[in-house]
Chain A
């Protein structure tokens, strides 16, 4: 009973922590999505110097450096350069850019798997490159990206707990505060945190799965069933 009341009393702060977690996740994904698409398009259609001088170094850097290190670099680096940056902002930048590098890979793979023939058909109609991308390439690439993107969503949401390390009061830090206030209920409190992360990832993935079904291109059903049964046999 005692234990339960601790959770009950801590619930408002856990929920406000959850909101911060969702907030962080939203910004990570939004930055990652917009920048990721731009990077992917730049890599597939852009001039070679753009690829070599900007896109590749960016992707390599943000994929090679651990997130926690990125977080520290942005947070402590900003004060070194006398830039006034909150812990929240530093987290958003560090992990948003990290996500952009990963999402760029997802979108690039999807764009390249569509094939040059679709682009050729669009250009032959008289569309310019941007129109072809907007009306022909991206609608197909985004559909193909959903499964890998739902992976990225789960990773980003869970990694938002790293923002704990620079003092953002997200879900995990709220949990830590409750543990500190009430002594010794660590397992219970962190289990509740774990449950909340689980539910958030689960709901998000269900929504993405729904979108995948909703925007599936008709006519490929038979082929998909065949592929699925092959997978099931493995």
Chain B
């Protein structure tokens, strides 16, 4: 029985009157990939940023393994350094080379000596297929390459969990594949991942769990087979039908 890496319990977040997250609980076990789907504005991205308290939740508790993230006594920077985050718009540091982008967290946050940090960074950049780009700057790379650098940046910190916030929705269609391939490789190598995405092909291939969200709550949750073929909820069926038509992913 794999241990629970992430546990979210009864989470709430609202902006004024708008209840973005309205009582969400779920958990992710070690080595598993959870894909969160749902139409835009249903709180998926907010949920992700709540997990590492970049957006502080109003109510509810979150645990990373045994540590409670939402406990005010917890060192949040230590927690964040062990949760990777990959953003929709990559958010690479524009003034730094690819190598420095990956290395910065290691030298500044983890205080790893520069030589060692360089080795780790190059190793992770090789993993995403960008070892030849270490001296380039983000603006010199394609979107797909930038997103792979940002995955390497997350990996370098040796995270217990990586959060992906619509990692491919800002990419040209022909660049999506290279990023998804890296993510599939990661999932298969046993990385624990929570992915907000509409890439149904990816979900079918590697998701252990799919969560369908609407209006800040979880409408339905289950493994891909259940969700795609035996869904109980008409809203889930409708959404999955539409999204599969739009994004494809019938095969795999």
Contact = CB atoms under 8 A, between A and B. Distances in A.
Contacts of A143: 95
Given A121-B91, A125-B109, A126-B80, A217 B85 contact: no
Interface in A165-214: none
A175 B89 CA distance: 58
A124 B52 contact: yes
Given A126-B77, A126-B78, A220-B139, A120 B95 contact: no
Given A121-B87, A218-B140, A219-B137, A126 B109 contact: yes
Contact of A125 (B136, B138, B141, B153): B153
A124 B95 contact: no
Contacts of B108: 125, 127, 131, 135
Nearest to B91: A121
A121 B137 contact: no
Contacts of A121: 85, 87, 91-93
A136 interface: yes
B39 interface: no
Interface residues of B, number: 31
Interface string A126-139: 11100100011001
Count class of interface residues, chain A:
20 to 34
Specify the main secondary structure of chain A where it touches its partner.
helix
Interface string B89-102: 10111110000000
Contacts of A117: 87, 89, 91
* Chain A CB within 10 Å, residue with most, of B85, B87, B93: B93
Contact of B138 (A122, A136, A219): A219
Nearest to B94: A217
Given A131-B109, A218-B139, A220-B139, A118 B77 contact: no
B104 A135 contact: yes
B54 A118 contact: no
Contact of B54 (A124, A128, A217): A124
B81 interface: yes
A23 interface: no
Contacts of B104: 125, 135-136
B93 A118 contact: yes
A122 B80 CA distance: 10
B157 interface: yes
Given A125-B157, A126-B80, A219 B140 contact: yes
A125 B81 contact: yes
Contacts of A123: 54, 80
Contact of A218 (B82, B87, B137): B137
A121 B87 CA distance: 8
B105 interface: yes
A217 B92 CA distance: 13
A126 B139 CA distance: 24
A140 interface: yes
Contact of B109 (A120, A127, A218): A127
Contacts of B49: 120
B95 A139 contact: yes
Nearest to B92: A121
Interface in A30-54: none
A217 B93 CA distance: 11
Nearest to A115: B91
Contacts of B78: 126
Contacts of A128: 77
B96 to A, nearest CB: 8
A123 B49 CA distance: 11
A124 B54 CA distance: 7
Interface in B173-209: none
A203 B213 CA distance: 61
Contacts of B137: 217-219
Interface string A216-231: 0111100000000000
B105 A127 contact: yes
A217 B139 contact: yes
Given A121-B91, A121-B92, A217-B137, 5 more contacts: A126-B77, A126-B81, A127-B105, A217-B95, A219-B136
11 contacts: A117-B87, A120-B49, A124-B83, A125-B104, A126-B77, A126-B79, A128-B77, A140-B95, A217-B95, A218-B136, A219-B137
